Chain A
Amino acid sequence: MRALAVLALALAACPAAAQQVPPQIVDDTIPRSLTGRPGDAARGRAIVANRSVGLCLLCHSGPIAEERFQGDLAPSLAGAGSRWSEGQLRLRIVDGSRLNADTIMPAYYRTGGLQRVARNFEGKTILSAEQVEDVVAYLVTLKD
């Protein structure tokens, strides 16, 4: 592996995630699966489409025709898999603020640095490691 700065993300224990590999950032990517296994693209699509699980379509639009209400606060997810590598997509989902400190996109796999989190979400990541992998597996399939 590269001799570049390899940063371990400070993550609080997430009960939902049977986490085997701590996410490591290399350049602008997290090269390795958070679970050590590949995700499931079909499950990932369902997560992205779900307004209360992935929440992605609140801000993004994407090639998910059956969801009529999509957001326009963020670029379309169409073509994300041709613009970004799997590792780049993973870092964007885990913690996009590593790439753009001012991003409004929530960090889906981070619990630190948050203020006044509602009690029932306290200490929990938005998605589990497995769900992050499913979403990444789906995004990779979004070629233009």
Chain B
Amino acid sequence: MSRRLLVVGLGLVFAASYATAQVGADKRRSGYQDMGEALQKMQDDDTANPGMLFVQLGGQLWSKQTGVADKSCADCHGAAAASMKGVATRYPAIPQGGDRPVDLEGRINLCRTEHQRADRLPPENRELLALTAYVAHQSRDMPIAPPYDHRLDAFRQQGAEIYRRRQGQLNLSCAICHDDNAGKKLAGVVIPEAHPTGYPIYRLEWQALGSLKRRLRNCLAGIRAEAWPLDASEYVAVELFLMDRAKGLKLETPAIRP
């Protein structure tokens, strides 16, 4: 073999093993992988996944005129399959002309107040969850791709600090459970890595669709920490951090969780 070929050959071998090492290094798991097979099947089968009923409702709301402007989402955005594809992978984001990030629900509410001239929908409202699920569903199977926007850095950093800070009467941090003890059992429950891959989720314990905020409030209650008010920016900050941490993982909306 010529020297040149050898060098090229070695280069290829290194490149290949580097790629393998990169793939091998990513051991992140979505909560999906920590569920039993029955629940995975329920999530995968659109006719069995109860979250799909909300997606359907969201689809109807998408083309329903509302507000003083009497406009539907579709009047501005057209078919969601094209215009909303990938959108959920890059939220939270800073809206045009704004200076702080909003989550997807916040973005939908901005469209309601600014463009439809309708009322804001309150947190955990059924129609808001349905619209969010419908929009996020257009990104199903797409990798989470946080936007490159340096204005987000400080907010994301705030989220990281919240995630690592001990709090509550039990004096635990998110990181203690979801980084240091993920995969272990808290009572009977496998602690997931807390990737926001499937939101809004249909949680069997809730018997309903619920937002990431609701999930975070459950964890805060579990450690007996004071939850932030429902409209607090802390939730958006934590979501920004979690989305960055889950970068590249696939969106599953609407996911099922136990």
Chain A: residues with CB nearer than 8 A to chain B?
A: 51, 55, 57-59, 68-73, 104, 106-107, 113-119, 121, 124, 126
Stretch at the interface among B31-39, B81-89, B181-189: B181-189
Extra contacts, 7 of them, besides A104-B180, A116-B225 (Cβ < 8 A), are A58-B186, A58-B187, A70-B185, A106-B170, A115-B168, A117-B168, A118-B220
A4 to chain B, nearest CB (A): 27
* 20 pairs, CB–CB < 8 Å, chain A vs chain B: A59-B186, A69-B185, A69-B188, A71-B184, A73-B186, A104-B180, A106-B171, A113-B171, A114-B167, A114-B168, A114-B169, A115-B165, A115-B167, A117-B168, A117-B169, A117-B224, A118-B168, A121-B168, A121-B224, A124-B169
Q: Decide if A116 touches B167 in the complex (CB within 8 Å).
A: yes
Q: Decide if B185 touches A71 in the complex (CB within 8 Å).
A: yes
Q: Decide if A73 touches B184 in the complex (CB within 8 Å).
A: yes
Chain A residue, CB-CB nearest to B173: A104
B216-236 interface code vs A (CB 8 A; 1 in, 0 out)? 000011001111000000000
Max chain A C-beta neighbours (<10 A), residue from B168, B169, B226: B169
Chain B residue, CB-CB nearest to A125: B169
Q: Interface SS of chain A: helix, strand, loop or mixed?
A: loop
B181 to chain A, nearest CB (A): 5
- In the bound complex, residues from chain B placing their C-beta under 8 Å from that of A59 are 186
- In the bound complex, residues from chain A placing their C-beta under 8 Å from that of B187 are 51, 57-58, 69-71
B174-204 interface code vs A (CB 8 A; 1 in, 0 out)? 0010001100111111000000000000000
- In the bound complex, residues from chain B placing their C-beta under 8 Å from that of A118 are 168-169, 220-221, 224-227
- Please report the total number of B residues contacting A with Cβ < 8 Å: 23
Complex-state Cα separation, A113 to B166, whole angstroms: 10
- In the bound complex, residues from chain A placing their C-beta under 8 Å from that of B94 are none
Tally of A-B residue pairs with Cβ under 8 A? 68
B41 to chain A, nearest CB (A): 24
Max chain B C-beta neighbours (<10 A), residue from A55, A113, A114, A126: A114
- In the bound complex, residues from chain B placing their C-beta under 8 Å from that of A104 are 172, 176, 180-181
Complex-state Cα separation, A119 to B224, whole angstroms: 9
Residues 29-77 of B at the A interface (beta carbon under 8 Å): none
- In the bound complex, residues from chain B placing their C-beta under 8 Å from that of A121 are 168-169, 224
Complex-state Cα separation, A11 to B220, whole angstroms: 24
Q: Decide if A116 touches B226 in the complex (CB within 8 Å).
A: yes
Complex-state Cα separation, A114 to B170, whole angstroms: 9
Q: Decide if B168 touches A73 in the complex (CB within 8 Å).
A: no
A61 to chain B, nearest CB (A): 9
Closest 7 CB pairs of A and B: A69-B188, A121-B169, A69-B187, A116-B167, A106-B170, A115-B167, A121-B224
- In the bound complex, residues from chain B placing their C-beta under 8 Å from that of A126 are 169-170
